[in-house]
Amino acid sequence: MVRKRKDKDIWQGLFDFPLEEYSSMDTIVNIEPDQLTLPAGLSSLNPVYRAPSEKPLKHLLTHQKIFASFVAIELGTGQKEALKAWALSKNYELVSDQNLEAMGKPKLIIRYLNQKK
C-alpha cells in the first residue's frame, strides 16, 4: 500500500507507505502496533501486526534526523477488497511487490526493503 508524495514535500513525487509521525524516538521504540491510529480502520479485518525486532532506522536530512520503525500488517485471505476500499479512502493504492520495486521511493524505504530480503 503506497501513496505518492505531493508538491512542496521533501520526498515530492516519491512513493511511501502509510505513516504516523512522532516527535521523539522513545515514542516509536515503545509504541505497541495496535496503538497506531492510522490502521485503526482495519480493526474489523482482524489484522496481525508484525513489529520489527531491530532498532529504528536512522535517516539524516540536511535539516533533521528521521528515526523510523516499520510495522507489517498481515490480513487473512479474502480481505483484499476491504483493504482496497480502506486504502482508497486514505488516498493509498495497493501495489504488488514487483510494481513497488519499480516505483521511486525515499532512500529510507529502500533501505528497509533491502533489509527484508
Tell me the pLDDT of the chain (117 aa) as tens digits.
999 988 787 888 999 998 888 777 777 666 776 677 766 778 788 888 877 666 788 888 878 888 888 888 888 888 888 889 989 988 999 999 999 999 999 999 999 998 877
Interatomic CA distance for residues 58 and 43, integer angstroms: 29
What pTM did the predictor assign? 0.80
- Letter for the amino acid at 51? A
Cell of 3: 501513496
Of the candidates 60, 83, 79, 66, the one whose C-alpha atom is nearest the C-alpha of residue 28 is: 66
3-class secondary structure, 115: helix
Cell of residue 4, nine digits: 505518492
